[in-house]
Amino acid sequence: MTPFFSAVCWLSGYLALVLAPLLVLLIGPVPPGSGFWWDFSMALGFAAMAMMGVQFLLTARFRRASAPFGIDIIYYFHRYLAVFAFVLIFMHYLIIRINNVDALVPINPMETSWYMTAGRVSLALFALLIITSLWRKPLRIHYDEWRMLHIGLTVAAFLLALGHIEGVGYYIDAPAKRWLWSGYTLFWVLLIVYVRLLKPWLMHNRPYRVSEVRQERGNSWTLALEPDGHEGMRFKPGQFAWLTLRESPWHVKEHPFSFSSSAARQDRLEFTIKELGDFTRTIKETQVGQIAYLDGPYGVFSVDRHRDAPGFVFIGGGVGAAPIMSMLRTLVDRHEHRPLWFIYGNNRWEDVIFREELEALKERLELRLVHVLTEPPTDWKGESGFITKELLQKVLPSDAKKFEYFLCGPKPMSDAVQQGLHALRVPLRQVHSELYDLV
Amino acid sequence: MREQLARNSALLTVVLVVLLAVMFAMIQNPPEPPPITVGEAASRPAPSASLSVSDVEKQVLIAAGRRVFEAQGCMRCHSIAGEGNPRYPLDGVGERRTAEAIRQWILAPAELKDQLPARAFQAKQAYRNLPPEDLGALVAYLQNLKK
């Protein structure tokens, strides 16, 4: 199955799932119409509910479903959908508020039916959910705390909304619909059980042990993991995994990192991690022998998805070199002969991660390595400044548009390079980049 | 570019969902055929200009009934002339039901349990505590609702 075809299949499946409740409403005996706006508002409520339900599915990290798109895109999709679904929920409320305010019960929960209060609280929780997710950093919410908050708020808001629908009960009164609706609800509940209980249990049965903690240049550390009692993880070079360190997999304290080791070895997995945040600063304190868990591999940022390419151009900045290093090390192990370029941006020469090993790789690969420094030493003879269109034109051959490009670095660099490549008439579908920094 | 793909697919989904919701609302509410009015207006009795004493008393009672109707939050489940919850309209109930039947439907005795949604049956039990004069006014108000 081609990636395009499977993408279409998964997208149709997604739409069917979102639209199912509306279709269920239309079959069988339907209560008489209650005016366009009333019925429109109710339909929006049901549709938004289905969209929120599918959100659980999107973040369940089903590897096969995410493979054609890349899981980073799924998370972006999840984010946009959440905002749109919230708008629909709010419209559901607003239409009644404007068009038929008498049908609304008093706000005070003591004077009103529980299911109307449930609906209102659910709306407020969904709002809170969106605010804390879109503005987590300005609100200074710690990542681990945010994840717990996110899970708690989601489940609460979702259950309250289900209670609201059950309590009102206009549309789902017919027995057949009640069954279908209950089935739909059960499906979501099972999904939560899978994601929060079963999947961590599967991870728990495949533990890893830390076998080395190695300091790299540029405040970075390489963490090596070896499987404990199983054969390890087969991944494509450039992919990543969610890493749980020093915690049980049920604690949901996991963080995504790219593999930096060769994919030819699945019994020793390495991650190169720069000290940037609360969690990454603790990597250096890790002890050999400590337990770790992995959820992966994920991602479409890999040379293995473009096996027929005549050559590859890697463009990385700082620790963005980690997945590129994984691809280069893998290509060495496979005795690669195609031409390769690595344009590597850093601030200072001392901070260039993998500097010595990259020099050595030039002996074993058709690799042209171009260092670009923003703060070059006084005797620097190489490239300096940013990776601009002019630099790309100078470094790359005239037939640059036939290669596949892998881009991994800070967003300003990534944007500038994409524009540069576009100006050099490299088709955008040949420029691959991973979106990270999701929340 | 991939970020735009995610945004556009999400947008497409929402557009499809809203379209289907519009479709649902339109299927539920087919346009009504224009009412046949020929001759009907003429046959309706013109409102009487002079009111007798009993008419005035009746109007006062009906007005009191309307206040009870509003105060008890009847519009959370019922609508009159498009005001309130359109799911259970009461327009013209005075033509369909006798005063006694209306009283029964308000109080919801056990015999009506099977004919009412469980939630409505439950809610109506509270109306047994209405003062008799309020209940009488409410029945008079509803009895007066003609098409």
> Residue B119 domain-assigned?
yes
Q: Which residues, including other chains, have CB under 8 Å from residue A282's CB and lie 6 or more apart?
A: A245
Split into its structural domains, chain A has a count of 3
- Pair A66, A172 in one domain: yes
- Say what the alpha-carbon torsion angle A192, B17, A23, A66 is, to the nearest 10 degrees: -40
Residue B37, domain member (yes or no): no
Residue A172 in this model has a pLDDT that exceeds 70: no
A310 and A270 part of one domain: no
Q: Are residues A251 and A332 in the same domain?
A: no
ipTM score above 0.90: no
- Write the CATH number for A247: 2.40.30.10
Most confident region among A23-32, A37-46, B84-93 by mean pLDDT? A37-46
For B120, the closest chain A residue by CA position comes to A168
Residue type, A255: H
Judgement on whether residues B22 and B63 belong to the same structural domain of the protein:
no
Question: Where a domain ends, among A181, A203, A225?
Answer: A203
Q: How far apart are CA A95 and CA A220, in angstroms?
A: 54
Do residues B12 and B58 share a domain? no
User: Is A439 domain-assigned?
Assistant: no
In-domain check, residue B47: no
Q: Are A288 and A318 part of one and the same domain? A: no
Q: Does A428 touch chain B (CB under 8 A)?
A: yes
Average pLDDT score over residue span A236-250: 92
Average pLDDT (A388-417) is: 93
Residue A136 and residue A156 in one domain: yes
Q: Which of A102, A107, A421, A431 is the mutation pick for testing B, counting most B CBs within 10 A?
A: A102
Q: Tell me, yes or no, whether B16 lies in a domain.
A: yes
Q: What average pLDDT is seen over chain A?
A: 89
**Range from A73-82, A127-136, A352-361, A400-409 carrying the lowest mean pLDDT:** A73-82
Residues A258 and A275 placed together within one structural domain of the fold: yes
Query: Whose CA is closest to B32, among A25, A36, A100, A95?
Result: A36
Q: Is the pLDDT of residue A36 over 50?
A: yes
**Dist CA A391 CA B12 (whole Å):** 39
Residue B34: per-residue pLDDT? 61
Per-residue pLDDT tens for A283-300?
999 999 999 999 989 988
Q: Does A14 touch chain B (CB under 8 A)?
A: yes
Q: At what angle do helices B132-143 and B99-107 cross, to 10 degrees?
A: 120
Domain carrying residue A14: 3-203
Whether residue A396 is predicted with pLDDT greater than 60 in this model: the reply is yes
CATH classification at residue A350: 3.40.50.80
What is the average per-residue pLDDT within A102-108?
76
Closest by Cβ to A103, choosing from B7, B21, B76: B76
Over residues A358-363, mean pLDDT = 95
Minimal C-alpha gap between A159 and chain B (Å): 20
Higher-pLDDT residue of A214 and A178 is A214
Contact between B143 and B102 (Cβ < 8 Å): yes
CA neighbor of A200 nearest in space, from A247, A243, A242, A250: A250
Number of neighbours of residue A69 by Cβ within 10 angstroms: 21
Answer yes or no: do A365 and A379 share one domain: yes
Looking at residue B40, what is its pLDDT? Answer: 47
Q: Is residue A132 pLDDT above 90, yes or no? A: yes
Q: Could you tell me if residue A420 is inside a domain?
A: yes
DSSP string, B63-93: HHHHHHHHHTTGGGTEEETTEE-TTEE-TTH
Chain A residue numbers touching B71 (CB-CB < 8 A)? none
Q: Would you give the DSSP letter of residue B109? A: -
Does A403 lie in the same domain as A256?
no
Threshold 0.80, pTM exceeds? no
Pair B60, B94 in one domain: yes
A135 φ/ψ angles, rounded to the nearest 5 degrees:
-120, 40
Which residue, A287, A273, A289, A283, is CA-closest to A208?
Answer: A289
Let me know whether B17 and B63 are in one domain: no
**Contact, A355 vs A348, CB < 8 A?**
no
A103–chain B Cβ distance below 8 A for any pair:
yes
* A192 and A339 inside one domain: no
**B84 contacts in A (CB within 8 Å)?**
100, 102-103
Is B116 inside any structural domain?
yes
Structural domains in chain B (count): 2
| Residue B72, domain CATH | 1.10.760
In a domain, A250, yes or no: yes
Joined together, the tokens standing for residue A173 give 């009164």
Confirm whether B46 is domain-assigned.
Answer: no
CB contact under 8 A, B20 and A38: no
Once rounded to an integer, what is the mean pLDDT over residues A103-126? 85
What is the per-residue pLDDT for A29? 61
Is the omega angle on the peptide bond into residue A297 within 30 degrees of 0, that is, cis?
A: yes
pLDDT tens per residue, chain B (147 residues)?
677 878 888 888 889 889 988 988 888 888 766 655 554 444 445 555 566 778 888 888 888 999 899 888 888 888 888 888 887 889 888 888 888 889 889 988 888 888 887 778 888 888 888 898 999 999 999 988 887
Cα–Cα distance measured from residue A44 to residue A50, given in angstroms and rounded to the nearest whole number:
10
Indicate whether A325 and A249 sit together in one domain: no
Is A163:A118 a contact under the CB 8 Å cutoff?
yes
- C-alpha atoms less than 13 angstroms from C-alpha of A49 in its C-beta half-sphere: 26
Q: By residue range, what is the domain housing residue B24?
A: 1-31
pLDDT in the model for residue A397: 93
Q: Is pLDDT larger for residue A56 or for residue B147? A: A56
Please report, rounded to a whole number, the percentage of residues in chain A having pLDDT higher than 70: 95
Name the percent of chain B in helix, strand, coil, to the closest 5: 65, 5, 30
* A122: phi then psi, degrees, rounded to nearest 5: -60, -45
How large a percentage of chain A has pLDDT more than 90? 59
Do B111 and B68 share a domain, yes or no?
A: yes
